[in-house]
Structure 1
Amino acid sequence: MTTDPTNTWRDPDLGEPREVRLPSGPVRYHDRGTGPALVFAHGYLVNANLWRKVVPLLAREFRCITPDLPLGAHVVPVNRDADLSPPGIARLLADLIRELGLDDVTLVGNDSGGAYGQLVAVNHPEVLGRLVLSSCETPEDTWPPSPGGFGLLKATAASAVTYRALYQPLRLRRTWRWRNTYGWLAKYPIDDRAMNSYVRPVLTRPEIRFDGRKAIGAVSAGYTRDAARRLIERRPVPIHLVWAAEDHVFPLEHAKRYAAELGAPLHTVADSYTYVTEDQPEQAAKLIAACVRQHRSTTD
């Protein structure tokens, strides 16, 4: 396995790095803090570093588990035959929660991590205490989302050659702010160490490209629309929405309508795009903590 630090760097503020072997293969995660468990699910082509600014704020009160999901920016590839379809990633998250012996878990999902979180809630509700959806797919959004041209991600995954070619511009730092890369996801530039950890694995490691291509090639809005229907009908776990007020990719109006159908509170993060934990970590951390406290106070 490569030791290239641009591939493997994770912010030490995430806590202790660990690895667990699940049915789908090895998964690395970071563990910091004590108290009620928060498990964080990131989206495509980012990793645990997405949470590096909020974990130090939340770890004062909560145990923060930040896995690297096999979505193209991870370090350790999963089994070659692992199911990386949306239900497969949801199962991986549920298996991680079970393997770590966590109870009354709050799953926090951002971007497509929120899409996977919705599938965990409907397919594995027994592992969750509650779900926090943060700027992610709603029933009105495509997956991959169409704003910004992200639909191209799935189209190019049909071929290993086109998939590899798509990401070559990311070798140039100036491309990181394009709207169809990270420019419409983070309002403010992401620091270079985190960005390198996001883009270098898919550029330099064929086994990571294999996982990323499988994962993005399998996504479909059909999964999230079916999950949303079942969440609205069954309400298996309490849900809160924490949304970027200026989200270009997952419009706030979509979130408002989805929250109304779910009967779920909606909280907005000002001066932020999709990656609220990058743009406004203090606001995001306060809202996540408040969501957990509110629900726990009504059930204690």
Structure 2
Amino acid sequence: MPRVTLPAGGIEYQDTGGDGPVLVLTHGFPMDHTQWRKVLPHLDDYRCVLPTLPLGAHRTPMNPDADLSQRGLAHLLADFLDALDLREVTLVMNDWGGPQFLVSEGRADRVARLVLVACEAFDNFPPPPARPLTTLCALPGGVRVMMALTRTKFFRHSKKAFGAVSLTGVPDPVLDAWFAPATASKDIRRDVAKFAAGTPKASVLLEWSARLADFDRPALVVWAPDDLMMPPDHGRRLAELLPRGRLVEIPGSSTLIPEDQPDELARVLKDFLAQE
């Protein structure tokens, strides 16, 4: 995979190339670009760029002094767009909602369209079902304990654990690849611990979210009414907050709509891009 060096460290990414409009697709925690593997075949007319961000499935540790808080990762993503000189980008997020903070941080100048797919929003960082894990990860040795749990069937597939992110279930080989880096590397676990401890208090999150009202470009909110992680009303609230926002709901999915309903998500995304 190509790799770009940023102030915070190296980032690997997939780039489908071509002259079509640029889509930058981001992933969740602790996942990587393969979160979009089922959607990509439907997006042949677009140049899709998929960074593997330092959310736990990255294979190379970031610099020891890298800021991997929610704010720090938003700046890292903006640095990535700058480094590749990507312009007029459609920025698509799912699960991790941090890419929206490019707006509150004043670094959305390269973003022409925003797509929020069943992601963290408002003060739902992290969602309640995930909070025990992030609390664990912020403790000394906690990430190592979490990575031991990822080897269990209960953690992977129970709707009371990581299995809540998908109604259809993420295949074990994909989960193996997502969980391997932090299982093997203490420096990757250090990065995960930084992220787990890097979420500000609810009042700050709500202040950042309110600034989405300043994003005057087209925005699409895609929500899953059956989601077990993201509140059902957050989709409507986001669409109302964004000046040019629109809401589409896709039933039969939990948080990972790219996993549960990839064909329908691709159709909705292409319809939005065609209209805008």
TM-score bin, normalised by smaller chain: over 0.9
| Contact 2:182–2:189 (Cα < 8 Å) also in 1 | yes
Are 2:38 and 1:53 aligned? yes
Residues 135, 196 of structure 2: 8 Å contact kept: no
Output the CA distance in 2 between the equivalents of 1:181 and 1:26: 31
Q: Does 1:277 align with 2:258?
A: yes
Is 2:194 aligned against 1:209?
Answer: no
1:105 corresponds to = 89
Once the two structures are superposed, residues 159-197 of structure 1 have per-residue CA deviations (whole angstroms, 9 ceiling, x without a partner) of: 231232133121123430123432211111212221111
Deviations 1:111-157 (A, max 9, x none): 11xx2121012321212111100111222x421111x2x11133223
Structure 1 Cα separation of the partners of residues 210 and 45 of structure 2: 33
1:254 corresponds to which letter in structure 2? H
| Match among 159, 166, 174 for residue 186 of structure 1 | 166
Shift of the alpha carbon at 1:51?
0.7
Give unmatched runs, 5+ long, in structure 2. Answer: none
Could you list the per-position Cα deviations for residues 231-269 of structure 1 after superposition, in whole angstroms to 9, with x for gaps in the alignment?
12x224332101113111112222112312324100111
Determine if contact 2:27/2:94 at 8 Å carries over to the other structure: yes
Unaligned runs of 5+ in 1: 1-16, 296-300
Structure 2 counterpart of 1:239: 219
Does the Cα contact within 8 Å between 1:144 and 1:153 map onto a contact in 2?
no
Q: Cα deviation per residue 1:83-116 (whole Å; 9 max; x = unaligned)?
A: 111111111111111111111001101111xx21
Q: What TM-score do the two structures reach when normalised by structure 2?
A: 0.93
Query: What is the letter of the counterpart of residue 114 of structure 2?
Result: L
Do the aligned partners of 1:137 and 1:224 also contact (CA within 8 Å) in 2? no
| Pair 1:153-2:138 in alignment | no
Tell me the equivalent position of 1:171: 151
In structure 1, C-alpha distance between the alignment counterparts of 2:215 and 2:242, rounded to whole Å: 7
Secondary structure, counterpart of 1:64 in structure 2: strand
Q: As a proportion of its length, which structure holds more helix?
A: 1
Q: Distance in 2 between matches of 1:198 and 1:268?
A: 27
Q: Is the 8 A contact 1:33 1:61 kept in 2?
A: no
Shift in alpha-carbon separation, 1:46–1:175, aligned structure 2, 3 A = same
Q: Per the alignment, do residues 154 and 191 of structure 1 end up closer, same or farther by CA in structure 2, a change over 3 Å counting?
A: closer
* 8 A Cα contact 2:154 2:161, kept in partner: no
Distance 1:117 1:223 in 2: 16
Alpha-carbon separation, structure 2, partners of 1:118 and 1:79: 24
Quick one: which of 16, 20, 26 aligns to 2:10?
26
* Bigger mean CA offset, 267-276 vs 253-262: 253-262
3-state DSSP class of the match of 1:227?
A: helix
Contact 2:223-2:250 at 8 Å conserved across structures = yes
Q: Which AA in structure 2 matches 1:253?
A: D
Kept after mapping to 2: 8 A contact 1:125/1:236: no
What's the RMSD between the two structures over aligned residues? 1.6
8 Å contact 1:117–1:131 — kept in the other structure?
no
Distance across 2 between alignment mates of 1:202 and 1:178: 21
Structure 1 Cα separation of the partners of residues 150 and 133 of structure 2 = 14
Cα displacement string for residues 47-94 of structure 1 (whole angstroms, at most 9, x for unaligned residues): 111011111211x11101111100111111111111111111111111
CA distance in 2: counterparts of 1:48 and 1:120, whole angstroms: 20
Secondary structure of 1:135's match?
Answer: strand
Moved over 3 A (4+): 220-224
Q: Which residue of 2 aligns with 1:227?
A: 208
Matched, 1:41 2:26: yes
Q: What does residue 8 of structure 1 align with?
A: none
In structure 2, relative to structure 1, the CA distance for the partners of 1:181 and 1:47 (3 Å cut) is: farther
Question: Corresponding residue for 1:3?
Answer: none
TM-score by length of 1: 0.86
For residue 37 of structure 1, what is the amino acid of its counterpart?
V
2: CA distance, partners of 1:36 / 1:294: 13
3-state SS of 2:57 partner = coil
